Structure 1
Amino acid sequence: MSDMLRFVSLPRQTPDKRAPELRREDFEEIYQGFQERQAEAQASRCSQCGVPFCTSGCPLGNHIPDWLRLAAEGDLREAWEMSAATSNMPEVCGRICPQDRLCEGSCVIEQSGHGTVTIGAVEQYITDNAWKNGWIKPIKPKRERPQSVGIIGAGPAGLSAADQLRHLGYKVTVYDRYDRAGGLMIYGIPSFKLEKDVVARRVQRLIDSGVTFVQNADVGGALPFAEVREKHDAVLIATGVYKARDLSVPGVGNNGVVSALDYLTASNRKGLGDRVPAFDEGYMNAKGKRVVVVGGGDTAMDCVRTAIRQDATSVTCLYRRDRENMPGSAREVLNAEEEGIEFRWLSNPKLLLGEPEALSGVRVAKMRLGAPDQSGRQSPEEVPGEEVDLDADLVIKALGFSPEDLPGAFGEPDLALTRWGTIKADPSSFETSLPGVFGAGDIVRGASLVVWAIHDGRKAAAGIHDYLRRGELPHGTNTVGKQLEEYDPRAYEPVAAK
């Protein structure tokens, strides 16, 4: 039997998970990660097919069969170099990407019934091993350029763009509204999915590479956007989308109804050791409460799994469609069920019960799926007369996020928006309607995945590089379409220890 048929005799294996009753007691990551032999064995299951659909299923176009083969052969350094050539945070994507909907969902051998290659777990192992062995060094550009770039937002899009631009030799300053860099990776995603030191070491590497971070920067407020533009030769807007969508039901203003991001931020800050009065006083703490989370995406899964770790009396998730139409990761739903979360499919809140000072419950309407809407998904519609009241002390709204009013905040009425309120940017260069101003991540595409934000940050960095190079050339010179300098992790040079 050839190595290309290893998947026939070697079954799919995922990293071991800690027992549900143990992981409910803390916020540590639930997966224990592959050991070397496990990673090599699972990587060897890749059939090295002629048309790698896993690559096309990955937003970053990762060369997945190549680094799987290298990992299977034990050449982990070259596997890391191959992985890092197309991704700025492989160990982050390996932890939080919904691989079942992306690379693993496109795996050819999955269609044969033998089980997909565990791509995400191997990806995580390769880069965690690179950190462990000291292969990931601060960036030493081959040449320093005189231009500077300002990046607004230190989430995955902004950090990826900063990495790319610093590698190309630009001076980079990142402005962020929070006191720590990382965006939703720090304050939105719980530690049981992504431990904070995984993000912090990426930020520290950028600092060691010469990237300047300005935290607590209120761009559009205390720090005018025009001032940021004046300081830099190009600016990237990578602010993400943070405006929570609201419930449109009576009682939504009752005490005990909170937004998902506020709730998750309070929990993550508490885990980071911050003083969080709203948590300490019980308002943003699920301990001893009957919790209802409304929503069906990954943010809803983060909320229900956080609440159960805070010793909630009960946790119920309401979603207006069925399980098959749930937008969140199937893996996260399974993890939540293992941890004791109750799911009520085809259910939608109709009324929040109680007084303004104290929530007491949720009246839930039964739903059914009707005719498809414009997106092709079946529209949920209420079943008349089918209602049930659930007891609740805390309701968490996890209905997604919308863009903030950036043109108003930035004082730039000429900053063009789409009909959804996101920034309108050229799909190739990511340049906005303002010359020298670019956009990337959720603020351009709408609330999406971390891997898409990384993709956009890389593409925007290439657009900025092309824009600034044109400024170095004689007037009228056109460089559009020419090959940009390749990102090569092997170009990193060792930096003397401090």
Structure 2
Amino acid sequence: MADRMLQFVRLDQRLPEKRKADLRREDFDEIYKAFDPEGAKTQASRCSQCGVPFCSVHCPLNNNIPDWLKLTAEGRLEEAYEVASATNTFPEICGRICPQDRLCEGNCVIEKDFGSVTIGSVEKYITDTAWENGWVKAPIPRRELAQSVGIIGAGPGGLAAAERLRMRGYQVHVYDRYDRVGGLMIYGIPNFKLEKEVVLRRWKQFEEGGIHFHLNVAVGKDITLAELREKHDAVLVATGVYKARDMAAPGIGLDGIVPALDYLTASNRAGLGEVVPAMESGALNASGKRVVVIGGGDTAMDCVRTAVRQGATSVTCLYRRDKANMPGSMREVHHAEEEGVTFEWLGAPEAFLGDGKVDGVRAHRMHLGLPDASGRQQVEPIPGSSFTMPADLVIMALGFDPEDLPKAFEEPALPVTRWGTLKVNHRTMMTDLPGVFAAGDIVRGASLVVWAIRDGRDAAEYMHNYIQQKTAALAVAAE
């Protein structure tokens, strides 16, 4: 048993056992097995307990990571869970899908010479143990308040805000156009990264805590934003961004070229036991096909690894920059390589080939040039470098843009930025419409689940302050 910290000098980094690639290609189960109690303790004891915890500094939620690592090393798991959940609404989800190699673990002070502490795996272990032992409680407030809030979107940002507001006693109503709670955590992220029961149990628990979910409700169609404002004391827009980015190229309209989210949603719905016609017909099924995925982010990695599991004959990822400049997690790239995915680095699509249906992608090689204003190297095509890849299914994973919410919500006064995201006062997270707040990807653009959680929690605090100030002002006016 680990009884003290700073054990990195004698203990090597060890992740939980990872299933062999040839086995995990055959199913959608999570690829890592759970830590055993002793393994979790000893790995947590490797923490250096540094004076400036860069793991916490680089965590969007500023989780108190060294504290819950120390408690885990001492076997005080219930306390470790209390500390972890104090700053994070969904530690069991972040432990699974956060790109720790770019955030907490990538900034661990012992990472360079000794290998970082396995923060994500320990976080997952703590919270899974908490669920097994009944330490995770429904958000039941100490006292009920009369005021109500409406939250548009049941993704991570909306749910994080809902939980915080419910704990303060508000009557919380969450509206979502889909039939399940979770947003992209349910329909966008594959099971091998996040098993759906992990999300669904939170839904059940939030209902037990008194949060009301109104599913299959599209704002602007089934109910207007104006009606929600009339019904609730404050409204939060946390819809995320779902509109697939497209590109202009010859042949882009051929059958067999599909958006990444359509493809992932079909696979996840099938995994949930639904009959999905597009899967049955093969339109969104990679089985027996040569698959090319265009893009280099985490969504692209989800697509290539899903295609492998669906039984594609070959899977290639085409990305216009090199491996070092991939925007996605390097761990995900490594998992994909283990599972047989081929990467075509420094390649960009030029045209899509086929007669009615795609049968190939013509691409050209790219050269990395000087950095642009953002600091990333610009890419330039190399003349005469064209090459062709055979393809029966092309998946476009180029990122996501916001939908036209003023039009969708029938609220032209809802302000947007030049990128189409909602414009807010960042000191209050409120839009120009009094009492209407916004958080998550619909404000910051497509980002990580952990950032959505942070934004949702912050928005809940601002909404609470707004409602209390409004209530106090009305009370004074009534005197």
| Common fold by TM > 0.5 | yes
Residue 429 of structure 1, CA deviation: 2.1
Structure 1 match to 2:103 = 102
Whether 1:226 and 2:226 are equivalent positions in the alignment is yes
**Equivalents in 2 of 1:240, 1:282: separation in Å?**
28
Structure 2 match to 1:257 = 257
**Equivalents in 2 of 1:159, 1:146: separation in Å?**
20
Structure 2 match to 1:31 = 32
Residue 474 of structure 1, CA deviation: 3.8
Residue 4 of structure 1, CA deviation: 4.2
Residue 167 of structure 1, CA deviation: 0.4
SS in 2 for 1:229: helix
Residue 236 of structure 1, CA deviation: 0.4
Residue 57 of structure 1, CA deviation: 0.6
Label 1:121 to 1:2 Cα distance change in 2 as closer, same or farther (>3 A): closer
SS in 2 for 1:99: coil
**Equivalents in 1 of 2:426, 2:15: separation in Å?**
37
**Equivalents in 1 of 2:313, 2:3: separation in Å?**
54
SS in 2 for 1:431: coil
Unmatched runs of 5 consecutive residues or more in structure 2: none
Work out the number of aligned pairs and report it: 475
Residue 475 of structure 1, CA deviation: 6.4
Structure 1 match to 2:466 = 467
Residue 476 of structure 1, CA deviation: 11
Query: 1:187-206 residue pairs with structure 2 within 5 A?
Result: 187-206=187-206
**Equivalents in 2 of 1:4, 1:18: separation in Å?**
29
Query: 1:66-105 residue pairs with structure 2 within 5 A?
Result: 66-105=67-106
Structure 2 match to 1:148 = 148
Structure 2 match to 1:484 = none
Query: 1:168-187 residue pairs with structure 2 within 5 A?
Result: 168-187=168-187
Residue 426 of structure 1, CA deviation: 2.0
Structure 2 match to 1:493 = none
Residue 138 of structure 1, CA deviation: 1.5
The answer to whether the 8 A contact 2:220-2:409 is kept is yes
Q: Residue type of the partner of 1:458?
A: R
Where does structure 1 differ by over 6 angstroms across 4 or more consecutive aligned residues? none
SS in 2 for 1:293: strand
**Equivalents in 2 of 1:445, 1:208: separation in Å?**
31
Structure 2 match to 1:386 = 385
The answer to whether the 8 A contact 2:3-2:73 is kept is no
**Equivalents in 2 of 1:189, 1:68: separation in Å?**
27
Query: 1:228-307 residue pairs with structure 2 within 5 A?
Result: 228-307=228-307
Residue 139 of structure 1, CA deviation: 2.1
SS in 2 for 1:246: coil
**Equivalents in 2 of 1:245, 1:20: separation in Å?**
31
Residue 472 of structure 1, CA deviation: 2.2
Structure 2 match to 1:400 = 399
Residue 3 of structure 1, CA deviation: 4.0
Structure 2 match to 1:332 = 332
SS in 1 for 2:15: coil
Structure 2 match to 1:5 = 6
SS in 2 for 1:278: helix
Q: Residue type of the partner of 1:456?
A: D
SS in 2 for 1:473: helix
Residue 2 of structure 1, CA deviation: 10
Structure 2 match to 1:429 = 428
The answer to whether the 8 A contact 1:429-1:459 is kept is no
**Equivalents in 1 of 2:253, 2:360: separation in Å?**
13
Structure 1 match to 2:346 = 346
Whether 1:134 and 2:142 are equivalent positions in the alignment is no
Structure 2 match to 1:56 = 57
**Equivalents in 2 of 1:331, 1:222: separation in Å?**
42
**Equivalents in 2 of 1:384, 1:4: separation in Å?**
57
Structure 2 match to 1:441 = 440
**Equivalents in 2 of 1:181, 1:222: separation in Å?**
18
**Equivalents in 1 of 2:249, 2:452: separation in Å?**
32
| TM-score, normalised relative to structure 1 | 0.94
**Equivalents in 2 of 1:132, 1:95: separation in Å?**
17
Residue 150 of structure 1, CA deviation: 0.4
Structure 1 match to 2:23 = 22
1:134-187 deviation digits (Å, cap 9, x = unpaired): 111212211111100000000000010011000000000100010001000000
The answer to whether the 8 A contact 1:29-1:194 is kept is yes
**Equivalents in 1 of 2:259, 2:289: separation in Å?**
16
SS in 2 for 1:55: helix
**Equivalents in 1 of 2:60, 2:252: separation in Å?**
37
CA RMSD in angstroms comes to 1.3
**Equivalents in 1 of 2:380, 2:429: separation in Å?**
38
SS in 1 for 2:143: coil
**Equivalents in 2 of 1:289, 1:467: separation in Å?**
54
Label 1:7 to 1:384 Cα distance change in 2 as closer, same or farther (>3 A): same
Structure 1 match to 2:372 = 373
Whether 1:318 and 2:318 are equivalent positions in the alignment is yes
1:313-344 deviation digits (Å, cap 9, x = unpaired): 00000000000110000000000000000001
Residue 52 of structure 1, CA deviation: 0.6
Q: Residue type of the partner of 1:9?
A: R
The answer to whether the 8 A contact 1:299-1:398 is kept is yes
**Equivalents in 2 of 1:88, 1:200: separation in Å?**
14
**Equivalents in 1 of 2:473, 2:272: separation in Å?**
51
**Equivalents in 2 of 1:96, 1:178: separation in Å?**
22
SS in 2 for 1:381: strand
| TM-score, normalised relative to structure 2 | 0.98
The answer to whether the 8 A contact 2:13-2:118 is kept is yes
The answer to whether the 8 A contact 2:152-2:174 is kept is yes
Whether 1:412 and 2:411 are equivalent positions in the alignment is yes
